Amino acid sequence: MLLTLNFKETLLNDCKKVLNERLENANSAMQAAQEAANGEEKSSAGDKYETSRAMGHRDRDMYARQLLEAKNELQKLDKIKLESSEFIKTGSLIEIGNTLYFIATGLGKLVISDMMVIVISKESPLAKSIFGKKINDEIFFNGKKLKIDNVV
């Protein structure tokens, strides 16, 4: 596979788009939950009003946590330097076998230019096992011997 800094830049920008979408969705959902909680009218059922209101606040708090998490992940992505490096670090794009990994944040699979890339956080077990390694180094991961074929 032909891996370049331009490809890595596209990949990083797509990661930011995904997180921005999460941020917008969490913000909208949080506002809707708040409006729903505020919009509940007290009825003769009494407890039903309190339960609905509490559920609305719980949902709002959940979306607020998702919003904060997305903001924190975006800040981490903004700190990534896209320079090439011989050794694997945060921001590295790695080819192992026929699989591409990008060490940035835990987003999972993304398809960029018809290539699937697994975006992992630096805290993931795989990232921890390959940090500081370089091309042609071998590691043992999940009982398998893996060879690092490329690093950008």
pLDDT per residue, tens digit, the chain (152 aa), is 568 889 999 999 999 999 999 999 988 888 887 777 776 555 444 555 567 667 777 888 888 888 899 999 999 999 998 888 899 999 999 999 999 999 999 999 999 888 999 999 999 999 999 999 999 999 999 999 999 999 99
Residues 61 and 100 in one domain: no
**Domain stop point among 49, 78, 107:** 78
Q: Is residue 112 part of a domain?
A: yes
Residues 98 and 58 in one domain: no
What does the pLDDT read at residue 39?
A: 66
Residues 65 and 122 in one domain: no
Residues 132 and 99 in one domain: yes
* φ/ψ of residue 53, rounded to 5: -65, -45
What does the pLDDT read at residue 33?
A: 79
What does the pLDDT read at residue 44?
A: 47
Residues 49 and 105 in one domain: no
* φ/ψ of residue 115, rounded to 5: -120, 135
Residue 65 is which amino acid? R
What does the pLDDT read at residue 50?
A: 64
What does the pLDDT read at residue 85?
A: 87
The count of structural domains within the chain is 2
Domain that holds residue 126: 93-151
Q: Is residue 86 part of a domain?
A: no
- Mark residue 98 as left, alpha or beta (left: phi above 0; alpha: psi -120 to 50; beta: remaining): alpha
User: What is the pTM (predicted TM-score) of this model?
Assistant: 0.82
Q: Is residue 131 part of a domain?
A: yes
